[in-house]
Structure 1
Amino acid sequence: MKRWLRFTAAVLAAAFLFALTGCGSSTNSASFTWFVDSIPANLDPQVASGASDVIACENLYGTLVRKDPNGELVPGLCEKWTVSSDGLTYTFTLKDGLTYAAAKGAATEYDITAEDFVFAFRRIFRADTASPYAVEFSAIQNSAAVQAGLADESSLGVSANGALTLVFRLSERDDNFLAKLALPGAAPCDEAFFESTRGTYGLTAKTTLASGSFYLYNWTTNGLFLRRTVESPLVGSLRLVQDTSGSGKSAAQLIADDKCSAALDESGEATSLQTVSYSDTTWALLFNTAEGSVFQNQQLRQALAGIARENATVPSGGLYAAAKGLVPEGLTVDGLDYRDAAGDPLPTISEPKALYLAARQGMATSDFSGVTLLLPKNAGLGELADQINSAWQKECSLFFSVEEVEQDEFDARIAAGKYTIALAPIRAEGGSVYQMLQQFTAEGGSLTGYADPVYADRLALSAQQTGKARCALLAQCEQQLLESCTVVPLMAQQKRLLLANGVRDLVFDPFFPVLDLTWAKMS
């Protein structure tokens, strides 16, 4: 039975942990400002998926465990936990006296109990919730059957043993299960309050209850503002707003002008600010292998790929680094460093000119009519494209034209398959290795017309696995894709977070995304 108490009001993935500064201040503590592309629109933690929504939920809601500034998992809303010897049962003891806070920190009649976590996880696996967290918690007992409507949600392997004891039962080991419990989707949800909102849970200030260190102070078209009652040096408020200055200033200048506390940057310009570098984008050659294309010939693709890799020089300036695979360094799968686990998937292409001569047997010169190398205008990669094209001309006597088009046209032609060769950015949206590889299946858009049933089946199977098993399947997919030379990774685009000085103990991960100010301080 859920307890009711009146109270006085008093959040992931592997993260970058570092010090940075905030700007502005509240009465007794500092304020941190972060620019978002759009103002948070959904604060339902089991549903939120947009970057700004997720960041807001990370700070607004508590979870059983959290990552501390040292990258260690520590108790959040729980007092302690135990794991069975077989790794299939997790038992948590919640802290006593936990309560929710309403808008502006107002007191409510809702306390946080184990039943709230049970309800939250049942919501995750309800088909009508369409929670993005269902795949993360697929190891929970009976989760697939519940989600498919084949079993009652009461059979889900999440149960409460009294108000303060929560038990998870898994159908298979998931060595990253504990870390996943720091995700916003694993936050508690009070069933009675949820039902009272009549479908508007987390969509308005009145239908939102905070369970984290911050509470919702204000939510308007101008931004979302969170606060907490703390003393300096802890950061006491978080402002998620849009840059409406229209100044076009660089990230570094915005920080210097105290417009924001930190900002993402892709300029590569020299700066005295602290930086954290990362990459979620690999620039690669794409060969259109659709039916009727000259590049259905794998030997031809391999020959041109080998020549391109031998002769392409990474542009100077610090914006790019040589690719070590299609998937850039730094991405994780179930808490494991994917690139470390997968190794080097780049195929060795020996004697590419001999491959080319073998591929040309039976081909006519006219087969290459209309072949162009497509790239987006203003990407600053015209010299690289000319370099590759010149190498093909020198080694194979192939004369292709380089075609630069505006970004919108480039995106449309890639999506429609209206190109022969392209120099294109392949992105891992949300830091997902699976999503990056899925773009080369029919379901994911089939960027190059690549259609291999073994690849598609193996990739689909990876979504049903966890940990090392999932990494291994994804690595096999990446290697298979690259050995076919339908996509040829050349360089990883470097991005960075620019940081001012002063605030420490902020947890940041660009891929999930994570911007957790639970421990953030400003000296």
Structure 2
Amino acid sequence: MTRRVTPLILILIMLLTITGCSGDKTAGKVIGFDIDGVPRNVDPLLAVSQSEIAVAANCFEGLLRLDEKDDLDNGTAESYTVSADKKSYTFHLKRNLHWNDDTPLTAHDYVFGIKRALAPETRSIYAKDLFSIVNAPAYHKGSVSSSALGIKASDDTTLTIQLSFADNEFLRNLTKLAAMPCNEAFFISCKGRYGLEKKYTLSNGPFYVKSWEAEGGKIRLNKNKKYTGETEVKPAAINLSFKNDPDKRVDRIIGDYLDCGFVSGDKIATIKDDSIEKSGTRKTMFYKDVYALYVNPAENDNGDIRKSMLMAVDRDALALNITGSFLPATGMIPTGAVYRGENYRTDAGEIQSVPYDPAKAKTLFSDTLTALKIKKMSFSTLYYPNNESIKRIASLIAQNWQKNLGAYINIEAVAEKELLSGVQTGKYKMALVPLKSETNSALSYLNRFASSSETNLFHINSKSYDKQIAKITGTLTDKEYLSELKKAETQLLSQNYILPVFFSPTAFVSGKKLSGIFYNSNDYIQFISAGKVK
């Protein structure tokens, strides 16, 4: 399969203009990076926010890593061999590996790290990335002990992993946060606070946590002098700030007071493109969030009320009013999602729920209310995040329901946190819900709606959907994998709980003096090659 360039990798093309080398005048600089969200835990297994992942992804290194071209490269592994049936992998680690505090890094650290990832008590959302390991699902459920796992270290530099099936994604999964090492003695010494403060962090990646000022809103990552990776660590340090005013972020980048930062959602509309172009500043947008209309108005509904309400929404009319940086949704999985390094939405095409049919919707709605003996609707409010652009969309949806169903629905703005809580608890029966993701994996978007998922906000419980999700494994060819993803997305939308409305972007904005920052297909920002001119 020919690998195409994904939207996130386009950042690489824009920024990786100067390669790291000895005597490079852009090397040895301190990079200033603004990011939203206070990092609370940088344990790679529990890092979930954008800021937490940014720290963990730059402070840890797996057996393998993804380079600036998104190709597999050696991480701490010097070499590895694969059995003929592709179910046994033996890794030989480089000699003289160390953690940033000079503690030796060994194969046993990977055994302990992977066992932690799969342990039910860890509750890591990344555990499924390692489910092809022998007995991994059973151990994750607590039905077997860790000794049954197909992973062992025969000595300090040799690690063998046995798979229950030939997993075509296994090597790339070893570059993800689930497969990072963990020093057992250090972990135990943290007494449950691993990854929560500077003194409870230990790094084997290009950087380590030099300082962590929670109140001051800053984390400083310094170059790890113990790092012996294939790529030279170019910057001296990364200063991550998470309490600066996001409304002033772009102006600070244009004025050379800041090197780079993320600008999310509605704030992107405030960026003036002419100012960006004149200053030489660069803006790259990628779409990972989807806003969906959720309806679940009656407990005794057999699905027909939901179906009729979604069928009564004119998506084409909505699309004409989705403006600014928002994009009309073409499925439940946004345009920034990838599968096996490829753009999912490009390959899958548009996948939608019930088609717009106002006449059929009205009949179904009226007949169902009569059958259920519902005379007065108690579900008379559509809630939405407090945002003027989203208010306009919510208003149009309510107008559709009034026109096509004769249903008079109020709209009410609430804070996003309250909205999500209200939907999860069942307080809000109808809502325009932001579904945000910290990963760009197409499968991860679908996994969140599995019956057993803790992130199943809508409490969708479908055995057939769970069964379809279970079919999406590393044994599939690329074509089969895409096909099963499409079937799962189609089946999810056929439950008639949700109607994808629009995709919301995040912009990565960088100053003209900056080069070398890139994203890989794991959706991890990488600073290892970052350079800056004076």
Structure-2 separation of matches of 1:441 and 1:119: 29
Structure-2 separation of matches of 1:416 and 1:152: 35
Return the offset for 1:139: 0.8
Structure-2 separation of matches of 1:370 and 1:78: 57
Matches within 5 A, 1:87-486: 87-102=86-101, 108=102, 110-195=103-188, 197=190, 199-221=192-214, 222=216, 223-228=218-223, 234-244=234-244, 249-265=247-263, 266=265, 267-268=268-269, 269-271=271-273, 272=276, 273-292=281-300, 296-297=304-305, 300-301=308-309, 303-305=311-313, 308-315=314-321, 317-333=323-339, 335=341, 337-340=343-346, 342-347=348-353, 349=355, 351-357=357-363, 359-361=365-367, 366=375, 371-394=380-403, 396=404, 398=406, 400-407=408-415, 410-419=419-428, 421-428=430-437, 430-431=439-440, 433-434=443-444, 438-439=448-449, 452-456=462-466, 458-459=468-469, 461=470, 474-486=485-497
Provide TM-score, normalisation by structure 2. Answer: 0.78
Moved more, 132-141 or 364-373: 364-373
SS in 2 for 1:173: coil
How many matched pairs?
494
SS in 2 for 1:218: strand
Q: 1:487 aligns with which of 486, 493, 498?
A: 498
Deviation track 1:208-253 (CA, whole Å, cap 9, x = no partner) reads: 4332222333334333222227899922201123334xx5633311
SS in 1 for 2:236: strand
SS in 1 for 2:312: helix
Asked whether the 8 Å contact 1:314–1:320 carries over to 2, the reply is no
Counterpart code for 1:62: E
Provide TM-score, normalisation by structure 1. Answer: 0.79
Query: CA-atom RMSD, angstroms?
Result: 3.9
Counterpart code for 1:483: S
- Distance verdict in 2 for CA 1:483–1:211, change over 3 Å: closer
Q: 2:515 aligns with which of 504, 516, 520?
A: 504
SS in 1 for 2:251: helix
Identity in percent: 25
Asked whether the 8 Å contact 2:259–2:514 carries over to 1, the reply is no
Structure-2 separation of matches of 1:507 and 1:166: 30
Return the offset for 1:464: 7.5
5+ residue gaps in structure 1? Answer: 1-12, 103-107
SS in 2 for 1:381: helix
- Distance verdict in 2 for CA 1:205–1:27, change over 3 Å: farther
Structure-2 separation of matches of 1:346 and 1:414: 22
Structure-2 separation of matches of 1:325 and 1:263: 28
Deviation track 1:247-284 (CA, whole Å, cap 9, x = no partner) reads: 56333113224443222223223331312212222233
- Distance verdict in 2 for CA 1:35–1:423, change over 3 Å: same
- Distance verdict in 2 for CA 1:372–1:224, change over 3 Å: closer
- Distance verdict in 2 for CA 1:289–1:507, change over 3 Å: same
Counterpart code for 1:301: M
SS in 1 for 2:127: coil
1:4 matched residue in structure 2: none
Counterpart code for 1:61: F
SS in 2 for 1:62: coil
Structure-1 separation of matches of 2:183 and 2:127: 19
Return the offset for 1:30: 1.0
Return the offset for 1:170: 0.8
Larger radius of gyration: 1
Structure-2 separation of matches of 1:280 and 1:313: 18
Asked whether the 8 Å contact 1:294–1:367 carries over to 2, the reply is no
Asked whether the 8 Å contact 1:39–1:224 carries over to 2, the reply is no
- Distance verdict in 2 for CA 1:370–1:95, change over 3 Å: closer
Return the offset for 1:522: 2.5
Return the offset for 1:176: 1.6
5+ residue gaps in structure 2? Answer: 1-5, 17-24, 226-230
Structure-1 separation of matches of 2:307 and 2:182: 56
SS in 1 for 2:84: coil
Structure-1 separation of matches of 2:238 and 2:183: 25
- Distance verdict in 2 for CA 1:347–1:124, change over 3 Å: closer
Return the offset for 1:127: 3.7
Structure-2 separation of matches of 1:210 and 1:423: 41
1:7 matched residue in structure 2: none
